[in-house]
Amino acid sequence: MSSSTFIPFFDHTPAAPKICGITTPEDALGCIESGTGALGFNFYPLSPRSIPVNADLSWIAKLKTDYPDIALVAVVVNPEEELLERLEKAACFDAIQFHGDESPEFCVTEGIRFPRWIKALRIRSEADLEAATAFKTQFLLLDAAVPGTYGGSGHTIDWNLASGFVAAHPEMRVVLAGGLNPSNVGDAVQSVHPHAVDVASGVESAPGVKDPVKVREFILAALSA
């Protein structure tokens, strides 16, 4: 694939959307063909989109070989060393996304094992956004705060809060998540002006199963906004 085929996810603003919760090679390829800039692979055992820690990751490595311009992101929640070691040794992830209650110190220490790291934050208030500046990364993902979940809830966040943060921190590459779908992502982009958008449940026919029509519509709506 030519590098000009895709919008580089980490280096270009606005970036092509990130489709998260990929569980099969077929879904991954469908998203790539639709124009995604990044794919997220969930390694949180309690998620319906989870990939087991001991699973064969060779299909993900092949994606990296075949589509080097697509950013591959490992999504973890309060990860144990066993998981981090396995993901590091896989050598196919462009970034690790800490989506749990990880401290800034933990993220810095463990994030350097990967080319980049992203911190996901569950946003309820201005105080949550103020805490975001403690994480020493350029890449922050803003998600909805829903009790008992670590993302993928289908709930939106306060776009006004997110917009204010983006405007106040132009040095940050903010990825907007939380309840996005083909119908609202265009409005979200116009309201918040994020670096990129992230979706999981909003483009699925069932948990962990991507709907190719919804994926195409989502990416088109995001890139056209």
Active-site amino acid positions: 20, 143
Greatest CA separation for the chain: 43
Tell me phi and psi for residue 27, to 5 degrees: -65, -40
As a whole number of angstroms, the distance between CA 210 and CA 202 comes to 9
Nearest partner of 159 among 141, 172, 181, 176, judged by Cα: 176
CA 56 to chain centre: 21
Nearest partner of 197 among 4, 13, 1, judged by Cα: 13
As a whole number of angstroms, the distance between CA 75 and CA 61 comes to 16
As a whole number of angstroms, the distance between CA 22 and CA 5 comes to 21
As a whole number of angstroms, the distance between CA 223 and CA 199 comes to 14
As a whole number of angstroms, the distance between CA 194 and CA 166 comes to 7
Work out whether the CA dihedral 214, 179, 20, 126 comes out positive or negative: positive
As a whole number of angstroms, the distance between CA 40 and CA 59 comes to 14
